[in-house]
């Protein structure tokens, strides 16, 4: 029976550590770190994510600002706002919640963000630095997974790690990070995706499986090796009869996989809260390295 990689517990520890640092900052009569979030349109999941980011800021003592735009906003309007935020001396970091409406070129928006304020770690300069093992902002979900593996001291060196899904914000960066010369890292990484002929062929041999697919209960116990480490990034809203109208499902079939794995992340309470905590961590890093704070 697998032990739980308790992301909720570790995320609370990290937020408490950040809060302590903020208290010291305030005692020194400096301003609090400030995160700005841009939300475009009415996507329910995006609204929920952004609201929780604002709540996290309150919890750790950061200042936060939520900027809402209608789904009809023009690209130039958004670019203007980004330019303002890049120049603002009171903003340490900001994020543009994705996805964006079709009329907006997501790549153009991400490239417009000053890499020093790109606390999502999505800017090509930061992604490149990550790949080159230079200091930079790591995207929050991969950063959260690394931190969870680190705090539970999960051995990754020399292990076979299979990642399912090659998204730019999770699977692809994760594949780079697990292969880097560091801890966690030094794994032999296989990045599988929609054109992989037989995913099971890989997952069955893997010591570590990281799923970021968005396909509820995709990974079954029959597809994994005894003693493997299973990290579930999936978080899909599945409609049900509950008052909320949905429940949150991971990519992993928890019951059958936890019977075989040595460690496993639950959904909810695994990777999700870690992602949220790491955005706070990145914002604190942005604050501390800010050219305006010396």
Among 97, 126, 211, 236, binds ligand GUN (CB under 6 A): 97
33 or 93: whose CB is closer to ligand GUN?
93
Minimum separation from the CB atom of position 233 to ligand GUN (A)? 10
Residue nearest to ligand GUN (CB): 98
Tokens 């301003």 locate to 31
Residue 97 among the catalytic residues: yes
Cβ atoms 186, 158 nearer than 8 A: yes
With a CB cutoff of 8 Å and minimum separation 6, the contacts of 286 are: 33, 92, 93, 116, 117, 119, 137
Measured CA to CA, the distance from residue 208 to residue 253 in angstroms comes to 16
109 or 206: whose CB is closer to ligand GUN?
109
Among 14, 18, 100, 140, binds ligand GUN (CB under 6 A): 140
276: burial class by Cβ within 10 Å (0-12, 13-18, 19+)?
A: buried
Q: Rule CB under 6 A: is residue 120 a binding residue for ligand GUN?
A: yes
Residue 120 among the catalytic residues: yes
List the x/- string, 151-180, binding to ligand GUN by CB under 6 A.
------------------x-----------
Measured CA to CA, the distance from residue 53 to residue 38 in angstroms comes to 11
228 or 234: whose CB is closer to ligand GUN?
234
Residue whose C-alpha is closest to residue 262's, from 155, 170, 187: 155
Cβ atoms 86, 117 nearer than 8 A: yes
Minimum separation from the CB atom of position 240 to ligand GUN (A)? 23
Among 95, 174, 267, 284, binds ligand GUN (CB under 6 A): 95
Measured CA to CA, the distance from residue 8 to residue 4 in angstroms comes to 11
Is 165 assigned to a binding site? yes
Is 208 assigned to a binding site? no
**Secondary structure of residue 110 in the 3-state scheme:** helix
Residue 83 among the catalytic residues: no
Among 73, 82, 96, 145, binds ligand GUN (CB under 6 A): 96
Cα dist from 73 to 57, 97, 290, whole Å: 26, 14, 30
Chain residues in the site for ligand GUN (CB under 6 A): 95-98, 120, 140, 169
Q: Which residues are catalytic?
A: 53, 97, 120
């Amino acid at each position: 029976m697998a032990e739980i990689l308790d992301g909720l517990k570790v995320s609370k520890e990290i937020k408490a550590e950040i809060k302590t640092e903020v208290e010291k900052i305030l005692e020194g009569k400096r301003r609090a770190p400030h995160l700005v979030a841009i939300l475009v349109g009415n996507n329910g999941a995006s609204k929920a994510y952004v609201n929780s980011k604002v709540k996290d800021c309150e919890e750790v003592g950061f200042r936060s600002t939520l900027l809402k735009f209608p789904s009809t906003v023009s690209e130039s309007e958004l670019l203007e706002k980004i330019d303002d935020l890049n120049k603002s001396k009171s903003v340490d970091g900001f994020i543009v919640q994705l996805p964006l409406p079709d009329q907006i070129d997501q790549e153009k928006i991400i490239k417009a963000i000053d890499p020093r304020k790109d606390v999502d770690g999505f800017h090509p300069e930061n992604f490149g630095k990550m790949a080159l093992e230079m200091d930079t902002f790591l995207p929050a979900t991969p950063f959260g997974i690394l931190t969870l593996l680190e705090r539970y001291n999960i051995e990754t060196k020399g292990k076979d790690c299979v990642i399912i899904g090659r998204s730019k914000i999770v699977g692809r960066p994760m594949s780079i990070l697990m292969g880097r010369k560091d801890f966690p890292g030094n794994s032999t990484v296989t990045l599988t995706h929609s054109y992989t002929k037989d995913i099971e062929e890989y997952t069955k041999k893997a010591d570590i499986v990281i799923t970021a697919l968005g396909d509820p209960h995709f990974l079954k116990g029959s597809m994994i090796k005894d003693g493997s480490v299973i990290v579930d990034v999936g978080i899909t809203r599945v409609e049900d009869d509950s008052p909320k109208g949905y429940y949150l499902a991971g990519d992993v079939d928890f019951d059958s996989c936890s019977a075989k794995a040595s460690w496993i992340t639950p959904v909810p309470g695994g990777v999700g809260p870690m992602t949220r905590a790491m955005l706070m961590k990145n914002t604190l890093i942005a604050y501390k390295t800010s050219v305006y704070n010396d």
